[in-house]
Structure 1
Amino acid sequence: MCASISGFSKLSKSKKIDWIVETYFSNAEDAKRILKQYWNTNEKIQQLHDEFTENTITNYYLPLGVAPNFLINGKLYTIPMAIEESSVVAAASKAAKFWMDRGGFKAEVISTTKIGQVHFMYYGNPETLKNYFNHIKSQLIEDAKPITKNMEKRGGGILDIELRDKTKDIKGYYQLHASFETLDAMGANFINSCLEQFAKTFKTEALNFNAFSAEEKIIQIVMSILSNYVPECLVRAEVSCKIEDLSEDKNISAEEFATKFVQAVKIAEVEPYRAVTHNKGIMNGIDAVVLATGNDFRAVEACVHAYASRKGTYSSLSHAKIEDGIFTFWMEIPLALGTVGGLTGLHPLVKLSLELLHHPTAKELMQIVAVAGLAQNFAALRSLTTTGIQQGHMKMHLMNILNLFDATDIEKEILTEYFKVNTVTHSAVVEAIENLRIK
């Protein structure tokens, strides 16, 4: 029977586990055994993991795979990918090899501007507020100097602050809309600290602004927070080649493949039902690298999908064209990433992942991550427009089904060979393993 508990966070990890397993599981000892199986045997590393979050009871592992042969701007990379979906790393690797032989991927960072906002309420004269903002703007930046001085030494800092009138949406609602450059840091803590200082100065100094009436001096700060929507923190990734160099499939000509591929992308541009799945495929590649490098995949996901809807309809992130006999496939995508701060200096596997990528700057990581997403998208569309997605996907999924039925090494070997020439479905695998065991 489930029960509430008071002071759970103050319990030791072992006491937390005891309460969890005794309250929620029919076999407490078996549940405890599974939880402890995933502890790290290195006490120092386990303590590090325990302190990453609150109320830790065990570790939740994802496979860390690598996709080699990524040629990006003339430089070879092996890209780390933390993901449980079996076909993703294989598809990315295949796409990387395909394009390595055709000049590789080109990538460039268009902009790295990040955004934060102070949301506040003011019910007085809008013109007086504008005058106050113009009067106080330089002081907002000056009062934040203790926070920004180190960032400024490295070439970053506050880019601008604007006053935005949002009273058409909500009565009395205004914003201080600030833009930042945070260099190799994702910058969330830096931006939020700046915003809270802006809010403090903005509210306090209003009391001394003579043009305000007594009521106008009362500015209500609602909240100060960065935005994970960063449409001006953009990176572009691209591949291109002659049409005749495209196809490796004997069953379809290069021209037909190129035409079908472009049509598939155009469908995703105009049909939201298709666009969501299309973009999910892109995020398969992006999220896997974002996770492996200790970045915030939730923030990236939220931003990317908002960006895909920026014109009023959810649409494809990637685009393709055929022009003068050249096939081009590209994507511009917002990515706010960091290579310093957060988990990047703490998690041992994140450190290894960044070293594997030649210790990239934030801009270089943006390029790598965007390329991983484009490669994943290319691999998926290539399958969809030729053999169909299930042939490759289900073959990769075969091992998951075999493991579900506790197949032995010998059974795996026999059935893997069998399904090289037979269609993989869940029911077909179940039938095959049952027949094998009867024999």
Structure 2
Amino acid sequence: MPTAISGFSKLSKSEKIEWLLDTYFTDKDAARTLVKKYWNSDEKLQKLHEEFIENTITNYYLPLGVAPNFLINDTLYAIPMAIEESSVVAAASKAAKFWLNRGGFKAEVISTEKIGQVHFTYDGEFSALKSFFETIKPKLISSTSDITKNMERRGGGIVNIELKDKSDDLDHYYQLHATFETLDAMGANFINSCLEQFADTLKSEAQRSLEGQLDVIMSILSNYVPNCLVRAEVSCPVSDLKSKDIRNPELFAKKFKQAVDIAQVEPYRAVTHNKGAMNGIDAVVLATGNDFRAVEAGVHAYAAKDGKYSSLTQCSVEDDTFKFWIEIPLALGTVGGLTSLHPLVKFSLEMLGKPSAKELMEIVAVAGLAQNFGAVKSLTTTGIQEGHMKMHLMNILNQLEATPKEKEHVIEHFKTNVVTHGAVVEIIENLRS
């Protein structure tokens, strides 16, 4: 039975590893070898990775793939994608190629406003609090001048601060609701620093001139950014949808729209539908050193903004024109954080032409739309499993430790047969017997 450890973070890397091996592993030598195998041979690079987080013992690798041929606003991109799931990069690439000669993708940033809040309680009258806020609002903003001066020099900074009465939701609960423009930075540290200064100023001013007790609970940015929006779309005449696997474009357009409409009204379908879009979004967000957990949380909240969880994408077939689009909130950065530290993040951003934050928002939205298009197209034509299982075939073969010759034989067989785990096992067993 393992026992708790005190001061784990103060141990050296080797001491951490040895404690883990002694406490949790039976084959210590194998575990130690595996951990060391994933260390980078470049000591400087390894140290850089270790300093990203605390208690690092090794590196956890994900494949970095590329989906080429994305025509976005008449510029051709090869999009980097960091993801482990079979078929995602292939599906994105296929969607990019499909739309390449049909006008490509159009994208635009609608707004870039980000939000932070100071949450506090006040046991006095709201009218007194409102009057107090209006008096000190200029001081709240001026108190952050040392924090905001560089951002303001570049054209960003604090957009506005509002007082919000939330006491109907929770007794004595109020907010300072602040909006920000952070330009090419995602801006989390900037926003949180401003908010903490707002809180300090609010408390000190309240003690001097406000009757009643005001207590700050917390100050933190929000990852829900409904006013930091980007839209991406594709469209073409219905007849232009005809391709190798779309023999009847009118029927395809009808079924595709019905599939999207189902995701609009059925949350069980919407979750999986949106997961398909997030396959593309997360992969690019991760490859470019941004926070995919924050993006996920904000996007899914946006999907439920009307009181019911629904599809992120929409489709119309009108006047013989097929149109498919996505509108999502994305708070992304191309400066600061890992963007200037992680070598592969810098590599990915250079691959994209060193985009601004707005350009990256457009690229990420397009990746999500392409991924969703590929998934819905498969579902309404060949079915999702045919393509997915063929991509998953290599994972099954690696699990079975197939030799190169065995892989060659099995891959050839499944060019014309349905892939299942059992069928792969059976062929391998027959080859080996």
TM-score (norm 1): 0.98
Kept in 1: contact 2:110–2:228 (CA 8 A): yes
Q: 2:46 corresponds to which residue?
A: 46
Q: Distance in 2 between matches of 1:394 and 1:334?
A: 32
Q: 2:8 corresponds to which residue?
A: 8
Cα RMSD (Å): 0.8
Q: Distance in 2 between matches of 1:336 and 1:174?
A: 25
Q: How does 1:239-250 map to 2 (within 5 A)?
A: 239-249=234-244
* Alpha carbons of structure 1 residues 196 and 387: separation in structure 2 relative to 1, 3 Å: same
Q: 2:27 corresponds to which residue?
A: 27
Kept in 1: contact 2:245–2:381 (CA 8 A): no
Corresponding position: 1:155 with 2:155: yes
Deviation at 1:248, TM superposition (A): 1.0
Q: 1:411 corresponds to which residue?
A: 406
Deviation at 1:251, TM superposition (A): 6.4
Q: 2:139 corresponds to which residue?
A: 139
- What amino acid does structure 2 have at the position aligned with 1:181? E
Q: 2:114 corresponds to which residue?
A: 114
Corresponding position: 1:319 with 2:311: no
- What amino acid does structure 1 have at the position aligned with 2:153? K
Deviations 1:361-407 (A, max 9, x none): 00000000000000000000100000000000000000000000000
SS in 1 for 2:310: coil
Deviation at 1:252, TM superposition (A): 3.7
Q: 1:207 corresponds to which residue?
A: 207
Kept in 1: contact 2:246–2:252 (CA 8 A): no
Q: 2:173 corresponds to which residue?
A: 173
SS in 2 for 1:15: helix
Kept in 2: contact 1:252–1:386 (CA 8 A): no
Kept in 1: contact 2:386–2:419 (CA 8 A): yes
Corresponding position: 1:337 with 2:332: yes
Deviation at 1:2, TM superposition (A): 1.6
Kept in 1: contact 2:235–2:321 (CA 8 A): yes
Kept in 1: contact 2:121–2:214 (CA 8 A): yes
Q: Distance in 1 between matches of 2:383 and 2:67?
A: 22
Residue number among 366, 371, 377 corresponding to 1:376 in the alignment = 371
- What amino acid does structure 2 have at the position aligned with 1:343? L
Residue number among 344, 347, 357 corresponding to 2:342 in the alignment = 347
SS in 1 for 2:141: helix
SS in 2 for 1:208: helix
Q: How does 1:50-69 map to 2 (within 5 A)?
A: 50-69=50-69
Number of equivalenced pairs: 433
4+ aligned runs moved over 6 Å, structure 1: none
- What amino acid does structure 1 have at the position aligned with 2:207? L
SS in 1 for 2:194: helix
Deviation at 1:101, TM superposition (A): 0.8
Q: How does 1:225-244 map to 2 (within 5 A)?
A: 225-244=220-239
SS in 1 for 2:208: coil
Kept in 2: contact 1:230–1:303 (CA 8 A): yes
* Alpha carbons of structure 1 residues 227 and 405: separation in structure 2 relative to 1, 3 Å: same
Deviations 1:114-153 (A, max 9, x none): 0000000001011010000000001100111110000000
Q: Distance in 2 between matches of 1:46 and 1:249?
A: 47
- What amino acid does structure 2 have at the position aligned with 1:133? F
SS in 2 for 1:118: strand
Corresponding position: 1:285 with 2:280: yes
Q: 1:272 corresponds to which residue?
A: 267
Kept in 1: contact 2:285–2:364 (CA 8 A): yes
Q: Distance in 1 between matches of 2:250 and 2:86?
A: 31
* Alpha carbons of structure 1 residues 28 and 133: separation in structure 2 relative to 1, 3 Å: same
- What amino acid does structure 2 have at the position aligned with 1:98? F
Q: Distance in 2 between matches of 1:86 and 1:167?
A: 48
SS in 2 for 1:222: strand
Deviation at 1:161, TM superposition (A): 0.3
Q: Distance in 2 between matches of 1:101 and 1:400?
A: 33
* Alpha carbons of structure 1 residues 424 and 41: separation in structure 2 relative to 1, 3 Å: same
- What amino acid does structure 2 have at the position aligned with 1:380? A
- What amino acid does structure 2 have at the position aligned with 1:35? V
Deviations 1:173-205 (A, max 9, x none): 000000000000000000000000001111101
List runs of 5+ in structure 2 lacking aligned partners.
Answer: none
Deviations 1:245-264 (A, max 9, x none): 10214664000000000000
SS in 2 for 1:391: helix
Identity, % of aligned positions: 70
Deviations 1:27-51 (A, max 9, x none): 0111010111100000000000100
List runs of 5+ in structure 1 lacking aligned partners.
Answer: none
Kept in 2: contact 1:25–1:31 (CA 8 A): yes
Deviations 1:82-122 (A, max 9, x none): 00112000000000001011010000000000000000000
Q: 1:294 corresponds to which residue?
A: 289
Q: Distance in 2 between matches of 1:206 and 1:304?
A: 36
SS in 1 for 2:108: strand
Kept in 1: contact 2:91–2:374 (CA 8 A): yes
Q: Distance in 1 between matches of 2:248 and 2:265?
A: 26
